[in-house]
Amino acid sequence: MLDPGFAQFVGESLPRLNGYAYALTGNTHAADDLVQDTLVKLAGAWRRVRHDGNPLGYARAVMFRTYVSGWRILRRRPALEEYRDTPAPEDRYAAVEARDALRRGLTRLPRLQRAVLVLGYLDDMTDEEIAALLDRRPATIRSLRFRGLQALREHLSPRDQQDQTAHDERR
C-alpha cells in the first residue's frame, strides 16, 4: 500500500507532472509512462523527500533527469507518428500550421535541448536554475537553449516559404 501522503501528493501534483511530461514527450501515452516512472522512483524515496519539504521540485528533477538520460520512451509503441507533410491550403490555417511545425520541430530536438526549452519556456526558469536541476554548467544550458531555438527557427522558416509558394501557385 502506498503512503497516504504520497497518494495526496500525486493527487495535487498530477496536473503539473502531466504538463511537464507531455511537453517533453509530445504524446499523452508516453507522458503517462514518464509520469509513472517518475512516481515509482519518487515513491521509493518518499520518506526522505517528504522531510526535505519540496516533493514537487524533487519529482520535476527526477522526471527531467530520467527523460534526458535516455528514458525508454519507445517501450510500448513508437513514440510519435511522422506528421504528414502537407500544408493546409488556406491562410486561415496558418496558426495551426505554425503550431504543427513547432511541435514537429520539438520532436526532432535532442532530448537535452528539448528539456532545456521546456524548463525555460514552460516554467520560465533561468539558465542557472536549469543548470542546477540538470546538473550541467550554466554555459552549457545557454548554448543548448540557443541551439534549440535556432533549430526551431530553421524548422519554421522553410515551412513559411512552402506555405507562401503554395499560396502563390493558387493565385
Min dist CB 167 to other proteins, Å, is 15
Taking the least distance from each CB to other proteins, the nearer of 52 and 103 is 103
Contact residues: other proteins, CB under 8 A: 1-2, 7, 10-11, 14, 18, 22-23, 27-29, 31-32, 35-36, 39-40, 43-44, 68-70, 72-78, 80-81, 98-99, 102-103, 106, 110-113, 117-118, 121-122, 136, 144, 149, 152-153, 156, 160
Taking the least distance from each CB to other proteins, the nearer of 82 and 169 is 82
Length of the chain equals 171
Q: Which amino acid is at 22?
A: Y
Cα 105–Cα 63–Cα 97 angle in degrees, nearest 5: 20
Taking the least distance from each CB to other proteins, the nearer of 11 and 53 is 11
Q: Are 137 and 131 in contact (CB under 8 A)?
A: yes
Min dist CB 10 to other proteins, Å, is 6
DSSP character string of 156-167 = HHHHHHHHHHHH
Taking the least distance from each CB to other proteins, the nearer of 36 and 126 is 36
CA–CA separation, 92 vs 106, rounded Å? 23
User: Distance from CA of residue 165 to its chain's centroid?
Assistant: 32
Min dist CB 109 to other proteins, Å, is 9
Taking the least distance from each CB to other proteins, the nearer of 47 and 103 is 103
CA–CA separation, 170 vs 2, rounded Å? 61
Min dist CB 118 to other proteins, Å, is 6
Min dist CB 79 to other proteins, Å, is 8
**What is the rounded end-to-end Cα distance, in angstroms, of the chain?**
66
Q: Which amino acid is at 44?
A: G
